[in-house]
Amino acid sequence: MNFKKISFGVFVGLISGSLLGVFLKFIQNITNINVYVLLLNVDFLPLIGKVSWPEWIEFSFHLLISCILGVTFIFLIKKTNCSIKMIWLLSFALTLPTVLLYFPLSYLALKDVPELLNFNAIFIWTLGHLLYAISLPAIYFLGKKRMSSL
């Protein structure tokens, strides 16, 4: 995998992760359900959880994970020479575990996050990650047209 493909994967991850973050923050602001807090929360992690990070650093942690997913997404597309249908399925397959992370993140959090079985929060979290799953291939296809050498 060359630098151009890695950079493209980082780009796809940054845009998709930003869309997810903006969506969850917007929904949190109108519903008062702390799904954005849950997305950024690292308080249960050893070492870094003991620090009270500013929001932009916590968001950077989220974007780092999203960039790793973006690079993985591009790597798997290029490695397997996926069809368009398989690219969409790959996106959903990579995103499904992030939907399920709601449960351990909610359970382990020390901050005020939604309860483990808050069905409204689960729905919002799932909807946000569905947006993420749709944005990965959408951004890939838009970017691929602009970077025809990929």
Is the four-CA dihedral 57, 58, 60, 65 of positive or negative sign? positive
Averaged pLDDT for residues 144-149: 68
Question: Does residue 127 surpass a pLDDT of 80?
Answer: yes
Question: Does residue 92 surpass a pLDDT of 90?
Answer: yes
Specify the pLDDT at position 128.
98
- Residue with the two structure tokens 């946000």: 128
Specify the pLDDT at position 148.
62
- Residue with the two structure tokens 């916590």: 58
Please give the share of the chain, as a percent, with pLDDT higher than 70: 97
Question: Does residue 147 surpass a pLDDT of 80?
Answer: no
